[in-house]
């Protein structure tokens, strides 16, 4: 999976937006975001830069960038966000509502949490090969 820097930043922004929906960002959710960034070969310093840039990005900017991604990128982004929702073992209703909102705004494919987890595991396995 190839993503431009601004696409990684947008996905990161959207992921943080979703995990903030229940008012509690857990260590597992933060770790899931960092782990996904690591799969792209980013160093710790680059991950910090992506997170800082995502904090500076507006929701509208992140949505606009995500809307312009191609179909495989959208599937990946949607999958990552679903994976992050489930990463702490608590699939919160508020996070699910925000994930669905993002899916609609960005034109992401509809999928279940289970499909999202399977997709992320498949992509990560391919990246490792």
* Residue 13 burial class via C-beta count within 10 angstroms: exposed 0-12, middle 13-18, buried 19 and up: buried
Residue 125 has pLDDT above 70, yes or no: no
How much of the chain exceeds pLDDT 70, in percent?
94
Dist CA 51 CA 90 (whole Å): 23
Q: Structural domain boundaries of the chain?
A: 5-128
Q: State the first-to-last Cα distance of the chain, in angstroms, to the nearest integer.
A: 12
Superfamily of domain 5-128, CATH level 4:
TerB-like (1.10.3680.10)
What are 62-65's contacts with CB under 8 Å, separation 24+? Answer: 62/9, 62/10, 62/11, 62/13, 62/14, 62/17, 63/10, 63/14, 63/102, 63/105, 63/106, 65/6, 65/7, 65/9, 65/10
Nearest Cα neighbor of 78 from 106, 42, 50 is: 106
| Per-residue pLDDT tens digits for 59-117 | 999 999 999 999 999 999 999 999 988 988 888 899 999 999 999 999 999 999 999 98
Structure tokens at 73: 């990128």
């Amino acid at each position: 999976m190839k993503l431009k820097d601004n696409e990684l930043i947008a996905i990161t922004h959207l992921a943080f937006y979703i995990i903030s929906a229940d008012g509690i960002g857990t260590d597992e959710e933060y770790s899931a975001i960092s782990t996904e960034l690591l799969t792209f070969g980013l160093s710790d310093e680059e991950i910090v830069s992506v997170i800082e840039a995502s904090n500076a990005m507006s929701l509208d900017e992140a949505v606009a960038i995500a809307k312009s991604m191609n179909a495989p990128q959208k599937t990946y982004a949607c999958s990552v966000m679903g994976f992050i929702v489930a990463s702490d073992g608590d699939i919160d209703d508020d996070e699910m509502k925000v994930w669905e909102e993002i899916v609609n705004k960005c034109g992401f494919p509809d999928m279940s949490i289970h499909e999202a987890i399977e997709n992320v595991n498949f992509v990560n396995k391919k990246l490792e090969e």
